[in-house]
Amino acid sequence: MGVVAVPRPPRRRRALPVRGHGSRLAAYVVVVLISIASLFPLYWMLENSLRTAVDAGANVTLLPKTPWQWSNYSTMWNYLPFPMSTFLINSFVLAGLVTIGTVVSSALIAYGFARFRFFGREVFFAVIISTMMIPYAVMMIPQYALFINFFHWGSGGSLFGYHNLFQFLPQVVPAFFGSPIFIFLLRQFIRGIPFTLDEAAMVDGAGPLRIFWKIILPELRPALAAVMVLTFIGKWNDFLGPLIYLQDPHNWTVELALNGFVGRYGTSNLNLQMAASVIAIAPIAILYFIASRQIIEGVALSGVKG
Amino acid sequence: MKKRLIVLLGLTLMATCVVGAQSVSARSHSVRTESAAPSIPRCTASGNVTYMYWGDSGDNAAHKSSIAVAEKKCKGLHVNAIWDSGNYDTDLATKIGSGNAPDLFQLDASKRIPQYVSLGALAPLDSFVKQQKMDMNGIYWPQCVNELTYKGHLYGLPRTCSNQSLLFYNKEMFQARGVAFPTNNWTYSDLAAAAQKLSGTYSVPHDQTSQLRFGMAFNTDDFRTEQFMWDWGGDWLNSTLNKCTMTSPSAQAGLQFLHDLAYKVHGMPTAAQASGLPDYFGGFQKERYAMAFMGPWALDYAFGKKPGGQPQINFQWGAVLTPKGPASRQAVMASTGLVIYKKSHHKSAAFWLARFDSEGIGAVVTGAYGVDMPGATALWKYPSIVAEYGKPLLATIRQSNQTGRYPKLVPQYDKFWSVISADLQPFWQDQASVQQVTQKACADVTSQGLLH
Amino acid sequence: MSAVETAPRRRRRRRRWSQSREARWGVGLTSIWLVGFLVFSAVPLAMSVYISFTSWAPISGPFWDAHTVGLKNYATFLHDHVFWHSVGNTIYYAVGSVGVVNLVALPMALLLNQKLRGLNIFRTIFYLPAILPTVAIVLVFRLILFPGTGLVSWILTKVGVQCDTTQVTCNPIDWLNNPHLTMPAVILVSAWGVGQTLLIYLAGLQGIDRSLYEAGAVDGTTGWSAFRYITLPLLTPAIFFNVVTGLIGAFQEFTKLVIFAGGATATGGPEHSLLTTFWYVYIEGFDYSHMGLATAMAFGLFVLILIFTGLNFLGQKRWVFYQEERR
């Protein structure tokens, strides 16, 4: 598995010149403390999810009173209009579709910018980057108007046997037209791929799409992995988009379902709230620990160079 | 990398499905239905009716079983039920806006009817009532019919009609402090005296830890604000809804009394104390408050009587009428209306279902879940309802409905209440006088165009 | 604003495709974005100008049927003291959270930028909070901050800062309901998700050429002065980036505030203390069905963001130092 190729002259990292053992030790202490602070809320979530309704959030003990209430999980699973599995599947479908759309379109657009010269290319690219500055606040309502008044994507109809999949469209379709930040990231990566590879393929008579498929994509895999994982996590964690567009409970994502534990009908069920939170976090946490390297390097790159 | 991801996604999906299947099979509390349903006209309508409602899983089970009976009785009717336990009002607005409005849906009567009517979303039901010769005030509680009537037209059938001002009390706590139980003849002064005696740090038989307990639960929501103003002779608006009257001495006196329960009588937590305590029904449940004003829904939410309901209480409780105020004894009624979308193509089928669900078996099932009282008076004699509430409580609720009154139909209720509650907040925290906050509230609702 | 030049660009291309073919492909591929932008951004933007002059409510029909009310919506929100209160909250949250996050992230990055065993594991742990679902995280922080019975209250009681909650006289410190404490609490929650900012600082630090320190050491520039005269100036592009993107994001924070206040039906938190302009736009539009007013307010927020971003870009000349000439 290749590391994300950072196209810059190799430079070995070295420790700062003057550092004693004392500072190293202090650093370890601080680092461990921060790690505990980072992980503790997750532990607390898990711990409270195993308490009784009366006990949750009430008494401070490091471990929940026995017997641990594993039944909270099954109660929570069926607490809302549909079982939690429905919401998990919805989150997978929605985040999955958005990921596919973003990755495919961003890669193609980035390829266009990196490998083809045309009049006004640099200006066009600058325009794309500058659109990142348009706040979502001004787009939220007119986009909603566009989707529900023009396209009638509020709900209704079924697609591929998936009832009311139309409600997903307002969030999925725009993803198929590229995301500026990832266009930027991928363009940088494609520029780092030696052009001689393209030339060799051209000699063999390959067209642009074939070069993209045979040469660019394989080289781009680490970067694509980063984009995929970041997009997936981003959409999974999204709350506002689903809140606006998903009206039917059978379309809710996990995040919306969590809101269902907070509102009108869930005030006194902190243990169920925590159990549901654990379920919402688990897939992301697992994904993160598998792909943390790609994620971290992707963020560092797209961030610093954005 | 890619392979691992795919395997992971697959595994997670599989796991979800397995767990889901298990828990679905574990969950099968059956719904009792009565054999004989009250008589409503034979169904002649047909069509696909989309029916949207809110609630928790108990409400949903009630709706589902009622719909099943409705579809059996009415062969041409097919009901597409949408249960939304989330952001109901916003979701509903979007569905209507995107051309996917449900034909029949629930609305919080006094809070929503004016807004939805002014936006042209509701069909008036007068012609159906006339055609089917319905005696509205005979079939339903008149207070709740009033609540669904706006500018001379009827817009909904009251599926539920509940008194929100019953005084529930914890017998165990009264006994622990040697205080006589509340009666139907109580005044608010009796309430204040008892609340004072019931506050302090003590233990009760079912909760041996010595902890801080109060006579009254802290609650300053819209129903309570109205109740205290009404019983002192005030209200937040005049009868034509074009003038804010919270600055009147009577309205201010009512609010002042509620405030003093906390800050003078010390029979109720202060705002700061309350924030460290459970909310009013959670605290009643956990024996932190000896008394609380609640509706019959308390049976579900505070006492956990609903099937599958989590916490059960283990102390004896009772309920009496709203105490008598200096001006009158008035209880806040709140109704859930079944309303029909103006552009629905299945209005008559929807109306039949609305009648079935409000007069018929549907409301019985809901009532028997202890969620809300049926809007139709006849249903209150139903065996399962009587069994659910018990004869004494049912008699109290019935009696208190005589004193019931529906809230003012304010246009844009949400914003109206949001402005008022924010303005009153400093008063509940004892940081401003009632004159200051009511003047501010009246100035704000007037300047923001929230009156007629 | 690339600080580091990327791959050496190939100046001399052996062209196999004709110039026009290359341009066709380039324009064709990149216009995927253009189509999306026109349909999903440009058209809505134009629509939103129109909507802001109407009294559109989604319940009553499509927006083109709504009554036009002229500049009334703009006048309404400009005279609404809740709007200005929300602007204050927005700036409070944005400046507070960006400030706290950067003040936490920078020392952490310096600490991590040395040879520590297991650095990768620590880096993974530190970044974890940044990618977890906000709703779940805020829910658990609500539990931790729960007044009277939560973990923080418990610790405060043990330390003696807070009164014993079993006493009648005790008024617990209330992070969830006291309007003066809710916003600081949310800012602290956002400081927990410091990972993103941290990573960018780390990348910035690792991009600093070590030879600079070695040269500095010869002149006796070590420790604090090395940080002050070498690290900090070279890190200014990263600081600038973090502040600008952080502010734009913070101006539009929604989820943290909404969930902390107790869900989407809690309009603004206690005494509107968590009501930011973005949330107010949502409430007016989606809860109260005043889409025209909400759109007008969104433009107000846009102006606010423009002002802050503009100030940042104007100010950067004074303090942001670029290692190489900007392209």
Q: A297 CB contacts (<8 Å, ≥6 apart)? A: A3, A4, A6, A226
Question: Inter-chain contact B212–C177, Cβ cutoff 8 Å?
Answer: no
Q: How far apart are CA B393 and CA B321, in angstroms?
A: 10
Write down the pLDDT at residue A5: 34
In this prediction, residues A254-270 reach a mean pLDDT of: 72
Question: C-alpha dihedral over B324, B329, B331, B332, to 10 degrees?
Answer: -110
Residues in a beta bridge with B204: B207
* CB-nearest partner of A240 from C39, C128, C254: C254
**B311 and A CB contact within 8 Å:** yes
pTM of structure: 0.85
Q: Which residue does chain B place closest to C59, by CA atoms?
A: B97
Please report, rounded to a whole number, the percentage of residues in chain B having pLDDT higher than 90: 39
Contact A226, A288 (CB under 8 A): no
pLDDT for A162 beyond 80: no
Q: How far apart are CA B249 and CA B260, in angstroms?
A: 16
Q: How far apart are CA A160 and CA B17, in angstroms?
A: 19
Cis-peptide, bond into residue A67, ω within 30° of zero: yes
Q: Which residue does chain A place closest to C298, by CA atoms?
A: A138
Predicted confidence (pLDDT) per residue in B302-333, tens digit: 676 655 445 557 788 899 999 999 999 999 99
Write down the pLDDT at residue C159: 83
Residues in a beta bridge with B157: B338
Write down the pLDDT at residue A161: 54
Q: How far apart are CA B127 and CA B131, in angstroms?
A: 6
Residue ranges of alpha helices (H) inside chain C are 19-37, 43-51, 72-78, 81-112, 119-131, 134-144, 151-159, 182-192, 195-206, 210-218, 223-226, 232-251, 255-261, 277-282, 291-319
Residue-wise DSSP of A74-124: HHHHTSSSS-HHHHHHHHHHHHHHHHHHHHHHHHHHHHHHHH---TTHHHH
Question: Inter-chain contact A142–C295, Cβ cutoff 8 Å?
Answer: yes
Q: How far apart are CA A190 and CA A113, in angstroms?
A: 9
Strands B156-163 and B207-216: unpaired
What are the Cα distances from residue B134, in Å, to A259, B144, B354, C170?
A: 41, 15, 13, 58
Among B340-354, B355-369, C105-119, C269-283, name the one with the lowest average pLDDT.
B355-369
At B210, is the secondary structure helix, strand, or coil? strand
pLDDT for B68 beyond 50: yes
Write down the pLDDT at residue A158: 55
In this prediction, residues A233-243 reach a mean pLDDT of: 92
What are the Cα distances from residue C82, in Å, to B237, B416, B449, C274?
A: 22, 13, 14, 12
More confidently predicted of A14 and B211: B211
Residues of B in contact with C289 (CB under 8 A): 93, 115, 119
Write down the pLDDT at residue C207: 79
Contact C267, B414 (CB under 8 A): yes
* CB-nearest partner of C26 from A11, A118, A300: A118
Question: Inter-chain contact B87–C265, Cβ cutoff 8 Å?
Answer: yes
**A287 and B CB contact within 8 Å:** yes
Report how far apart the first and last C-alpha atoms of chain B are (Å, whole number): 64
pLDDT-based confidence at C98, cuts 50/70/90? Answer: very high
pLDDT for C101 beyond 80: yes
In this prediction, residues C115-123 reach a mean pLDDT of: 81
Q: How far apart are CA C187 and CA A218, in angstroms?
A: 43
Token pair 């030049």 is found at C5
Predicted confidence (pLDDT) per residue in A26-78, tens digit: 788 888 888 898 999 999 999 989 988 777 776 777 777 778 888 889 988 98
Among A185-194, B212-221, B300-309, B429-438, name the one with the lowest average pLDDT.
B300-309
B212, containing H or E segment: strand B207-216
Among A103-117, A193-207, C11-25, name the one with the lowest average pLDDT.
C11-25
Q: Which residue does chain A place closest to C153, by CA atoms?
A: A60
pLDDT for B283 beyond 90: no
Specify the long-range contacts of residues A193-197, CB closer than 8 Å, at least 24 apart: A193/A219, A193/A220, A195/A115, A195/C10, A195/C13
Predicted confidence (pLDDT) per residue in B5-45, tens digit: 444 444 444 444 433 333 333 333 333 444 344 567 778 77
Among A120-124, A140-144, B411-415, name the one with the lowest average pLDDT.
B411-415
Strands B331-340 and B404-405: parallel
Q: Which residue does chain A place closest to B98, by CA atoms?
A: A148
Write down the pLDDT at residue B12: 44
**C278 and A CB contact within 8 Å:** yes
Q: Which residue does chain A place closest to B50, by CA atoms?
A: A156
Dihedral sign, Cα of residue A64, residue A67, residue A73, residue A78: negative
pLDDT for C325 beyond 60: no
Q: Exposed, middle or buried by CB within 10 Å (0-12, 13-18, 19+), for A197?
A: middle
Residues in a beta bridge with B201: B212
Strands B317-320 and B47-53: unpaired
Question: Inter-chain contact C168–B200, Cβ cutoff 8 Å?
Answer: yes
Residues of A in contact with B82 (CB under 8 A): 248-249
In this prediction, residues A81-89 reach a mean pLDDT of: 90
Question: Inter-chain contact C116–A24, Cβ cutoff 8 Å?
Answer: yes
Write down the pLDDT at residue B110: 83
Token pair 């989309």 is found at B50
Residue type (1 letter), A14:
R
- CA gyration radius for chain C? 25
pLDDT-based confidence at B186, cuts 50/70/90? Answer: very high
Which residues of C have a CB under 8 Å from any CB of B?
Answer: 57-61, 79-80, 82, 147-149, 153, 165-168, 170-172, 174, 176-179, 264-265, 267-268, 270-272, 286-289
Write down the pLDDT at residue C265: 67
**Which residue, B72, B69, B97, B67, is CA-closest to B82?**
B67
- CA gyration radius for chain B? 23
In this prediction, residues A74-102 reach a mean pLDDT of: 91
Q: Tell me the two tokens of residue B192.
A: 């204040």
Write down the pLDDT at residue A20: 55
Average pLDDT, whole number, for chain B? Answer: 83
In this prediction, residues B132-137 reach a mean pLDDT of: 90
Write down the pLDDT at residue B24: 33
In this prediction, residues B362-382 reach a mean pLDDT of: 77
Q: A66 CB contacts (<8 Å, ≥6 apart)? A: none
Q: How far apart are CA C201 and CA B135, in angstroms?
A: 74
Residue-wise DSSP of A171-216: HHGGGGG--HHHHHHHHHHHHHS-HHHHHHHHHTT--HHHHIIIII
Contact B167, B231 (CB under 8 A): no
Among A235-244, B322-331, C15-24, C63-72, name the one with the lowest average pLDDT.
C15-24
Q: How far is A21 from chain B (nearest CA, A)?
A: 38
In this prediction, residues A174-200 reach a mean pLDDT of: 89
Residue ranges of alpha helices (H) inside B75-206 are 88-97, 109-118, 126-131, 136-139, 142-147, 171-176, 188-198
Q: How far apart are CA B373 and CA A219, in angstroms?
A: 67
Residues in a beta bridge with B214: B289
**Which residue, B311, B283, B309, B259, is CA-closest to B433?**
B259
Write down the pLDDT at residue B312: 59
Write down the pLDDT at residue B180: 95
Write down the pLDDT at residue A10: 37
Write down the pLDDT at residue B306: 55
Predicted confidence (pLDDT) per residue in C252-292, tens digit: 899 999 999 877 666 788 888 999 999 999 999 988 889 99
Please report, rounded to a whole number, the percentage of residues in chain C having pLDDT higher than 70: 89
